[in-house]
A = this chain, B = another copy of it.
Amino acid sequence: MTSPQRAPGGFPVVGVIGGGQLARMCAGPAAELAVSLSVLAEAPDAAAAQVIPSAPVGSHTDVDAVLAFAAECDVVTFDHEHVPPEVLAALEERGVPLHPSPAALVFAQDKLAMRHRLTEIDVACPAWAQARTAADVETFAEQVGWPIVAKTPRGGYDGKGVRVVGSVEELADWLERADSDAAQGSGPLRDGLLLEEKVDFVRELAVLVARSPSDQAAAWPVVETVQTDGICTEVLAPAPDLDPHLAAVATEAALRIAEDLGVTGVFAVEMFEVRDPETGAPEYVVNELAMRPHNSGHWSMDGAVTGQFEQHLRAVLDLPLGSPAPRAPWTVMANVLGGDYPELYPAYRHVMARDPGLKVHLYGKSVRPGRKIGHVNVSGTDLADLRERAQHAADYLTGVVTE
């Protein structure tokens, strides 16, 4: 195991469990801040392991590996939300400072726990129910009408673990699995399914905030996220034509949730923008929570005074937070998904030549169709132009257009 090297002068080591692109994108800000990183990586060629000197290979489910890793770090944070509760408990028992804490993280790991808690603290959510049986599903569907959205409470991301269904039969396998999980007292469906009304939304928004253990908090502007086949493909920062009152209440809700749940680090609240059925007033309902830097915040790397990866490091170290102010009227982020060719470099040359203002961010990942392998940001004053530029670059890097 390569030990992390500490910068002289009293500087700390931040451990990140998981070596994906979120850990990788901490590397630049960490180097500038003289904060050392250590990453518990899935493999020697994991995205983050390519760029961070201390990247021991180990599984986030292996208690011994995680404890040995954490012993060399001052604080530990996460590249993803999949560290099992027993591993988190072992870390906590050893006194390892964890950000976010296991007590907070459970609300990002378990969507049923999240819905219960948000409802308790009066945050607007879609109509929802916990369902263990076909009868539970029928009852809920009678209230909200078919189709409904069904989710596995644990383990889903990027649309996985989510189904839009028009009948109870389409959930037969999940209900069966819920029975066996419940019998065993473990598994993603041990508490049943989360059912939600299918929200008739105007668009999707995200509020990204950071909160430190000292309770300092900072919020970036509310952004619009565009999803394609359940994957975020584009982010517009700030959300165009957003009602100022909605922006204020959505931001207030995210900050309130962060405080109530005790979140530390960067925290994303994905929301639907809806209309009050009676008054037509713009409102939000909360869709998902993520307790880490998030795809909806990648724009901030180039578009804000303090990008989300720098802010996450500052937050988990309880350093004063940086300004989340935007640096341009608009920044557009487009995700680069893997296409059907392996050599990315020629396309990369092309997009750089076409657009000298483009900021290209790649994750060092091999190309597989549909895999998030990078993103581009572009900032300026003409939103339509920025969207065209970002989308062209992303499409070209994906191989969708070859011009």
Chain A stretch 26-80: residues in CB contact (< 8 A) with chain B: 27-34, 36, 44-45, 49-53, 55
Q: Which residues does chain B contribute within 8 Å of A361, judged by CB atoms? A: 32
Q: How far is the CA of A342 from the CA of B11 in the complex (A)?
A: 11
Q: How far is the CA of A49 from the CA of B358 in the complex (A)?
A: 29
A215 to chain B, nearest CB (A): 14
A8 interfacial contact with B, CB 8 Å: yes
Given A320-B352, A362-B34, verify A27-B51 contact (CB < 8 Å).
yes
A296 to chain B, nearest CB (A): 18
Pair B320/A33 contact, Cβ less than 8 Å: no
Pair A363/B34 contact, Cβ less than 8 Å: yes
Pair A356/B321 contact, Cβ less than 8 Å: yes
Binds B, one of A110-118, A157-165, A322-330: A322-330
- Count chain A residues whose beta carbon lies closer than 8 angstroms to a beta carbon of B: 62
A24 interfacial contact with B, CB 8 Å: yes
Pair B314/A364 contact, Cβ less than 8 Å: no
Q: Which residues does chain B contribute within 8 Å of A36, judged by CB atoms? A: 50
Give the number of times this chain occurs in the complex, counting copies. Answer: 2
Pair A356/B306 contact, Cβ less than 8 Å: yes
Pair A367/B9 contact, Cβ less than 8 Å: yes
A349 interfacial contact with B, CB 8 Å: yes
Chain A stretch 2-28: residues in CB contact (< 8 A) with chain B: 5, 7-12, 24-25, 27-28
Q: Which residues does chain B contribute within 8 Å of A384, judged by CB atoms? A: none
A173 to chain B, nearest CB (A): 36
Pair A320/B353 contact, Cβ less than 8 Å: yes
A339 to chain B, nearest CB (A): 11
Closest B residue to A12 using CB positions: B345
A277 interfacial contact with B, CB 8 Å: no
Pair B27/A356 contact, Cβ less than 8 Å: no
The SS class assigned to the A binding surface is loop
Chain A stretch 342-374: residues in CB contact (< 8 A) with chain B: 342-346, 348-349, 352-353, 356-367, 374
A310 to chain B, nearest CB (A): 9
Pair A52/B53 contact, Cβ less than 8 Å: yes
Pair A5/B356 contact, Cβ less than 8 Å: no
Q: How far is the CA of A321 from the CA of B360 in the complex (A)?
A: 12
Q: Which residues does chain B contribute within 8 Å of A5, judged by CB atoms? A: 44-45, 49-50
Q: How far is the CA of A50 from the CA of B325 in the complex (A)?
A: 30
Q: How far is the CA of A330 from the CA of B36 in the complex (A)?
A: 31
Closest B residue to A317 using CB positions: B349
Pair B53/A8 contact, Cβ less than 8 Å: no
- The contact sample of 19 A-B pairs, CB cut-off 8 A, is A7-B362, A8-B367, A9-B342, A9-B367, A10-B345, A10-B346, A11-B344, A11-B345, A27-B27, A27-B31, A28-B32, A34-B362, A34-B363, A49-B53, A53-B53, A305-B356, A306-B356, A321-B356, A325-B357
The 9 closest A-B pairs by CB, nearest first: A28-B28, A10-B345, A9-B344, A34-B362, A320-B353, A7-B364, A320-B352, A8-B366, A31-B51
Q: Apart from A8-B342, A218-B356, A319-B352, what 19 extra A-B contacts exist at CB < 8 Å? A: A5-B44, A7-B50, A7-B362, A8-B364, A8-B366, A9-B345, A25-B32, A30-B51, A32-B362, A33-B360, A36-B50, A52-B53, A314-B352, A320-B353, A320-B356, A322-B352, A322-B356, A323-B357, A325-B357
